[in-house]
Structure formats: structure tokens, C-alpha cells
Amino acid sequence: MKKAVFFFLCLISLPVFAQEMNQMRVVGKGEYRPDKIVTSSRIDRSGRVCSCIMIVSDLEGILDITANNGVVSRDHSPGTDLLFVSPDERFLTIKKDGYLPLEIILYEYDITLVSGQTWRLKLTGDKKLDLIPVSIDVDKENVSVYIEGKFEGTGKTYQLSAGSHELRLEKSGYKTISQAIDVSTKNILFRFNMTETDPLLIKFQSNPEGAEIYLDNANIGQTNKDKFVYEGKHALKLMKSGYLDIQKDIDVKETASNIFKFALVKNAVVLSLRVVPSDARILINKEDYSGKTEIELPPGRYKFEISMDGYLAVTDVIDLELGKPVTKDFTLRKITGKLQLTVSPTDADVELLKGDKIIEQWKGSKQFQSLQVGTYTLKAKANGYKAYTKDITIAESQKALEDVTLEKGSEIGKNMVFVKGGYFMMGSNDGEADEKPIHKIWVDDFNIGKYEVTQKEWQEVMGSNPSYYRGEDLPVDQVSWNDVQDYLSKLNAKTGKKYRLPTEAEWEYAARGGNKSRGYEYSGSNNIEEAAWYNGNSGSKTHPAGTKKPNELGLYDMTGNVWEWCSDWYDENYYKNSPDRNPQGGKGSSRLLRGGSWDNSDYNCRVSVRSSNSPGSNDKVLLVFV
């Protein structure tokens, strides 16, 4: 009997203990407080700006509050506790003497934490009085029981106060039961039968698409997505890189459309940058954002490093907060030195360049009191004098002294390359009909211009410049074969030498690299990007002579830039009966052109390609000295 009495006493003591304990509870849902911004001084262990949970309570005394990932810091005032936690926090536990512990799962109260944001929760306490053990008898196992909308477990017995209670029973694959039950000491048993149901079609849509869908903690794919699920509440989470997570419960009902649409919010702050000079290098947390004026970055702290050669570098640290666009201006200050320049003759034309950009042009001597540090190219020219070019360096807070004296004479004929004669295989069996057949040809020794004839050289002889694309270092264009003969006549009279155009055989032998040939498809390379300006890289214009890779003989622009006149008449069948030594070309009505140009394809720039035009038509010239 003693054992029986002891067992009976233990059973009746449980309700008495429950009656003596108070119950804490959350009132309503979480409230987002945009007016309460977390400052950047509140940082978690990962360096992120914290989120804040404001606990407002009508309970007396101090609450014992813990977080799953730990509370970073806490500010307490009567009735209010500010908890600063990591943005990925999901759980809180609140304890107080005389009350049962309260576990708070944040998403159940519609709270999604974000760095810098604050959410408010209201807490109160209810005393559990006159609790009655109630049995919920369901014909299926593992049925989820919700009382007053709160999940209470999957058991059979629950302690409830007398009166009406909202009961909801859920089980996947079965129709949800929702009804009110009236509890009293005489009404403690409630029986239910679950009705099996078919799954319902639901649709998940998001803007933008492609968000990962987690339904009841299982990944089911990406939006936009259709899925069959059973009626009832389901835990949903949407995740997409660069956007804030969406986490909420959805209620799937047989009578509803079950289309769930979500507009994703970017987890980013818009940063507008204005940097002078605009081509300065921009590093943000060591990542290169050079050239960008509008950038989207996640909230957080960022280090900016702005730099450029010849300028003082600037660094800055910026805190970016969600919902607060930022505009930043950076103006780099030049590092300067001085330049003092004397020029003879005093009327010489002088220009200062940095790379291919002209900084300034003038005549004679000049002094610069503030010139940005770096390497410059100094050029000077005058009629009757050889051109002068020199690289100079300007150092910080120092004066560079330059004394330029031009040498009398002319540049014409200066850049000639000797070509040792020999045999080579002329033409191609893989090209057009007039490139066939390949045939063995001998050419004698000759000299050929290292560069295409420039506008400066043409101007010095002819006194005019017919070119469409202007620049003294650019090859001359818009000159006919007949114009070239006039040029050669004046040039030979001026120099006392014998310049002429190359024959087609001499041109191809030189373009192929002469006796140093490596058999390239283009002049100097099998990669046309290395060898030539053509329609794939020219930007629809000519370029300064000698800026691409030379061929085996040191000749430039034999491929591309501008077409080159040869001395021969064009005959499309000439290769079939050409003499094997120093061929001079066939008979026809047009003159030969070779090498392709800036507006031709790579196929039409091969060294074996032949073209022609009437002697009076405008193209360009290449000179040979023999």
C-alpha cells in the first residue's frame, strides 16, 4: 500500500506545481522599427554590424536573456532591453524566477534579422491557474497539435485552463481540423478522426527568378516553381545571392489559389563614386572596381584605396548601411616637378607627350613650373633639320633642365633595310586563283623602307598632305600610283638617289622575311593581332607607322594599316608563266597592291594576297632604294 500511495501522490503533485508557476508569452508579432538604426560601433565577431531586438516587458525585475549565437551586447532600462545580436541569430531563451522558461523562435513572429535593423517584441506574463489535464485523442499518430495558434507537440495530454480554446490538428496528407473546444472538469476528452486528402498544387514565384526554395527545411528547387504539397502550414525560406532571405510560414488551403509571390529585396547599398581623374585605380577591400561609377555592395565596412601614377594616393573607410545610398567624391592631387627647356633653332615646333597623348605644343624654349611627375616624350622639328625625340623624366619637387639643339639635314632615306637576295616560294595553293600556283622565284639584293612612308616624309617632299587620316607619324594615304611617280621624281632630285617602288616579287620576298623567313602567314607572325592593324582591331582608322611587331627583317606594317603600291602591272594569270628570276610583272590596265589595310579582314591581309587598282586611283606607297 505504501508504494501505491506514493505513486498516487506523485501524480497529483504535478498539477499543483504547474499551478504555482507563471507563464511568460509574446504578445502579437514582431514589429520592424526603421527609426531605430544600429550604429557601426556594434560589431559581431565576424565584423558585421549587429541586428537589434528590443524586448518590451511589463514584468518586474531583470530578465535573463540568452541567444543561440550569444548576445554581443545589451542595454537595459526599466521595462526595455536592447539585445545586440548577430544578423544570423534565430533563437532567444528568456528566463525569470517564478516563470517557466520561454523559447522564442524569431521567424514564428515574422522577424528576419538584417544588419543595422531593429525589431520590437512585447513580452508579458500569465499565471497558470486551475489547469486541467485534457486528452486529445486522434485516430492517427504524430499529429501536430496547436492550441491558440501555438504548437504544443504531438502528444495526447495537455494542461489547459477551463473555458474555450482554439484547437488545430495538422498532419501531412490529411485534412487540417480547426475548431473550438470547451474545457471543464467534466469535459476533458476530445476525440477526432483525420480525413486523408490529396496533395494540392502550389506555385512559387519571385522577382527576380532563381531563388532557392526551402520548404519544411528541404530544398525543392528554384523559383519560378510548381510543387504538390499537402494542405496545412509549411515553413518556407527563399534564398538568392545578393538578396535578403525571406522566411515565413505559408498556409496551403484547398479553397485558396495557393500562388505565393515574393519580391526579393537586394541586400545591397548603392554606392555612387565620382573619381578625378576618372581612370584612377579603385580598390574596395582589395577588389578592383576601376572605371565604375555606381556599385552595389552588401552592408558593412569597406576600405577604399584610390591611386594613380603621378598622384598622391587616397584611402578612406566607409560604413554602408542598408537603405542608405552613399555618394563619395575622390579627387587625387598631382605630384609635380619643374621643366626648363631651351631649343635651337628658336622657331622649332616642340611638343610634349605622355604616352600617345599630346600634353602641350609650342615654338622654341619654354618653362613649366608645375608638371606632373612621370616619363614624357619630347619632340622637336624644324624645316631643314632632322627631327629630335627624347624621353625625359620629371621627379617630385625637382627641376629637369633640357637643352635641345636640332641637327641640320633630312630624315628622308634614313630608315632603309638591306634585303639579301635569294630564292623563295611565291604564291599560295590555299588562297585565291590568282595566288596559284606556288612557284620558285629568285630576287637580287635590294634595300626597302623599314616603315611605310609617313605623312611627314610626304609633306617634306611634296609640300602638301592628301591624307584622309591626319598625323605626321601616320602612313600617307589617298595617293595614286601616278602620285607616287611624281613623289619619286622629286625625291630623287632632292636626294640624288634612285628610289623606286618594289616589284611584286621583291615585296612578297621582303614581307615573308627574305632569307630569314619562318614561313608565317602574315608578315612577322601567324597571329595577325601581333603583326597588323586590320578590321578586327584598327577602330576603322590608320595607326602610326611601326607600332606593331616587325617581321624577321625588321620591317613594319607589311601586313595591314594601308595597302602598298608595287611597280608591276597586274595579270591574274602571271604566276603560270612568270620567269624564275627577278620577275617584273605582266601586262594589264591596273597596278598591283599588296599587304591589305586597316579595313580588310585577316584573310585579305595574308602575305600571298594580290590586289590591284588603276594607276590614277588613291591608295598608298612603299619605297624601295636600289
Per-residue pLDDT of 280-334, as tens digits, reads 999 999 999 999 999 999 999 999 999 998 899 999 999 999 889 999 999 999 9
Write down the pLDDT at residue 20. 52
**437-468 pLDDT per residue, tens:** 999 999 999 999 999 999 989 998 999 999 99
Q: Name the fold adopted by 269-331.
A: Immunoglobulin-like (2.60.40)
Q: Are 411 and 449 in contact (CB under 8 A)?
A: no
Write down the pLDDT at residue 391. 94
Write down the pLDDT at residue 130. 67
Write down the pLDDT at residue 278. 93
Torsion of the alpha carbons at 68, 70, 75 and 81, rounded to the nearest 10:
10
- pLDDT band of residue 262 (cuts 50, 70, 90) is very high
> Residue 620 pLDDT > 70, yes or no?
no
Write down the pLDDT at residue 621. 57
Portions of the chain given CATH number 2.60.40.1120? 131-192, 200-263, 269-331
What CATH number belongs to 131-192?
Answer: 2.60.40.1120
Neighbour tally for 206: CB within 10 Å: 21
How far apart are the C-alpha atoms of 462 and 520, rounded to whole Å?
Answer: 36
Q: For all residues of the chain together, what is the average pLDDT?
A: 90
- pLDDT band of residue 387 (cuts 50, 70, 90) is confident
- pLDDT band of residue 625 (cuts 50, 70, 90) is very low
**Of the given ranges (55-59, 419-423, 578-582), which has the lowest mean pLDDT?**
55-59
Write down the pLDDT at residue 414. 74
How far apart are the C-alpha atoms of 543 and 356, rounded to whole Å?
Answer: 11
Write down the pLDDT at residue 382. 86
Work out the average pLDDT over 389-394.
94
> Residue 8 pLDDT > 50, yes or no?
no
How far apart are the C-alpha atoms of 305 and 321, rounded to whole Å?
Answer: 20
Question: Percent of the chain at pLDDT above 70?
Answer: 94
C-alpha cell at 372: 606632373
Cis ω before 199 (30° cut-off from 0): no
Cis ω before 615 (30° cut-off from 0): no
Q: Which DSSP letter does residue 515 get? A: G
Write down the pLDDT at residue 294. 93
Write down the pLDDT at residue 356. 80
With a CB cutoff of 8 Å and minimum separation 6, the contacts of 279 are 290, 291, 308
Work out the average pLDDT over 184-204.
93
How many helices and strands, by DSSP H and E, does the chain display?
5, 48
Burial class (CB in 10 A: 0-12, 13-18, 19+), 329: exposed
**424-440 pLDDT per residue, tens:** 999 999 999 999 999 99
Work out the average pLDDT over 573-589.
93
Write down the pLDDT at residue 97. 82
Write down the pLDDT at residue 467. 93
- pLDDT band of residue 385 (cuts 50, 70, 90) is confident
Write down the pLDDT at residue 622. 54
Q: In CATH, which of 2.60.40, 1.10.3470, 1.20.120, 3.40.50 is domain 344-405?
A: 2.60.40
Write down the pLDDT at residue 497. 87
C-alpha cell at 66: 540568452
What CATH number belongs to 416-625?
Answer: 3.90.1580.10
C-alpha cell at 398: 625637382
Write down the pLDDT at residue 617. 82
Q: Which DSSP letter does residue 502 get? A: P
Work out the average pLDDT over 139-157.
92
- The CATH class of 200-263 is mainly beta
Residue written as grid cell 544600429: 38
Residue 1: CA count within 13 A, CB half-sphere: 0
Neighbour tally for 226: CB within 10 Å: 12
How far apart are the C-alpha atoms of 577 and 580, rounded to whole Å?
Answer: 9
